[in-house]
Amino acid sequence: MNPGELRHRIEVWGKEQIETELEEMDFIDSKLKTIWASIIPQTGNLQKGQVETILTNTTHKIICRYSAAKDITSDMYIKFRGQRFDIKYILNPYFKNELLEIFVEQVIE
């Protein structure tokens, strides 16, 4: 893999356990790490819903180094330039432990 292809700086977000004022355990969203990656658009479609609303479904593939992203799980999400991407599944191609392919779906808020 050419390191120059990893030109996007992405943030990995997930749930972090905290203790509240009442000494109860709760979970909040927090930024876990920032890594270099490559983002490749895969597919996209428009769907018309009720009352002329338009829904979009855009999926991307994010490629990053295995060593930087080996602890990423599918219950986390990725932010890039203010956009949120929910993780659908993660592939380790040929089980080489060189890079990870993270397949995501863009969330339109």
**Chain segment 9-55, per-residue pLDDT in tens:** 999 999 998 888 888 889 999 999 999 999 999 876 666 656 565 55
Q: In whole angstroms, give the CA distance from residue 103 to residue 107.
A: 13
The CATH T-level fold of domain 3-107 is: Thrombin, subunit H (2.40.10)
49 DSSP 8-state letter: -
Structure tokens at 18: 């905290």
**Chain segment 58-101, per-residue pLDDT in tens:** 689 999 999 999 999 999 999 999 999 999 999 999 999 999 99
Q: Is the pTM of this model over 0.75?
A: yes
Contacts of 49 (CB under 8 A, 6+ apart): 55
